[in-house]
Structure 1
């Protein structure tokens, strides 16, 4: 779907009878995320949530739950705190790369 829209800024598609929007233009994406998000935040509830609780996240919540969770998360997402989080993520990812490299060098099979 994404590749077929290469020459377009956006496209629409349907999942069943529900219309969906696929954005490709970074300018439009930024506009929606920063200024027009109030019109786009209400996601359709998904049957996947019943299969896996991990699917129940900020990106898939509906209006009232989204507002409640966003209010709790917003204080945690300041630029300073995001920098600290990034450093933690970078450290963990470097540890993971080292571990996987050593395991590959030793021909170890990783358990699930």
Structure 2
């Protein structure tokens, strides 16, 4: 391969990596940011009893704050987010840990 072709491939790889990093950081931040609204969870057919919780509704699903703690090590609150996994053959799948946020204030 000549030097010009390698240069073009390198530029494309750096561009793609930058897009992946920026896209991932943006998506993760949007789903675990330090604010919430009241959302309905477990609303699918066959799911557990529906309820209302503190979280966000997104194209990727519903995410809600399960709990939060004070971290004296970081000097911030840590909010623990859960994915509301409605779906599957039975209409619901067990909810799973989704991520966490470091926030300046408690979740509630």
- Give the TM-score normalised by structure 1: 0.25
Higher helix share: 1
The structure with the largest strand share of the pair is 2
